[in-house]
Structure 1
Amino acid sequence: IEAAKADTERPSFITVHTQIGYGCPAKQGKASAHGEPLGEENLQAAKENLGWTSEPFTVSDEVYADYAAKAAKGQEAEDQWNAMFAEWREKFPAAAALHDKFYDKDAVKAVLKDESFWAPAEKPTASRALSGNIINKLKDIVPSLMGGSADLAPSNKTEMKDEEFFSKESRSGRNMHFGVRELAMGAIGNGMALHGGVTAYVATFFVFSDYIKPMMRLAALMKLPVTYVLTHDSIGVGEDGPTHEPIEQLAMLRSLPNMQVFRPADAVETAAGWYTALADTDSPTALVLTRQNLDIVPSSREGALKGGYVIADAAKEVPDGIIIATGSEVGISIAAKEILAQEGKDVRVVSMPCMELFEQQSDEYKEQVLPKAVRARVAVEAGSDFGWGRYIGLDGAAVCMKGFGASAPAATLFKKFGFTKENVADTMRGLLQ
Structure 2
Amino acid sequence: MTGKQLAAIIVAFCLCVFGATLGVLRFSSGDPSSGDTAPPKSTPPSKAPVYAYATSQELVVMRGRQVVGRTSRAFDPANYAVNQISWTHDGKYVVFLSDAGLLPGSAGLYDESKQELRFINTQTGTEKRLPCPDCKWFATLEDDTVLATAVHTTNEGYDEQKVWLFDLDSGSPGVSQPLNTEQYNGLPGSTWLANTRNHMMVNLLGDSPRMAFFSSDGLEVLNNTLYSTSNSYMLATGAEHTIYGSEVFALAAPIRPGECTQAFAVDVHTPSRQESIGSDSSAIEPPGYKDGKSGLDILDMWWGFDGKLHATIASWTCDETKESEETKQVLVSPPTVWRLDWDKWVKEGNQPATMVRPLDARTSMVLVVPDCIGITPPDGPYCYVGKLYREEAGKRTLVADQVFSVSTPPIKGGPSKAIRPWPTPTYDHKGE
Q: What range is the shorter-chain TM-score in?
A: under 0.3
TM-score normalised by length of structure 2: 0.26
Quick check: which one's helix share is greater? 1
Computing the radius of gyration from Cα coordinates, the structure with the larger value is: 1
Greater relative contact order, per chain length (Cα 8 Å cut-off, separation 6+):
2
Determine which structure has the larger strand proportion and give its number: 2
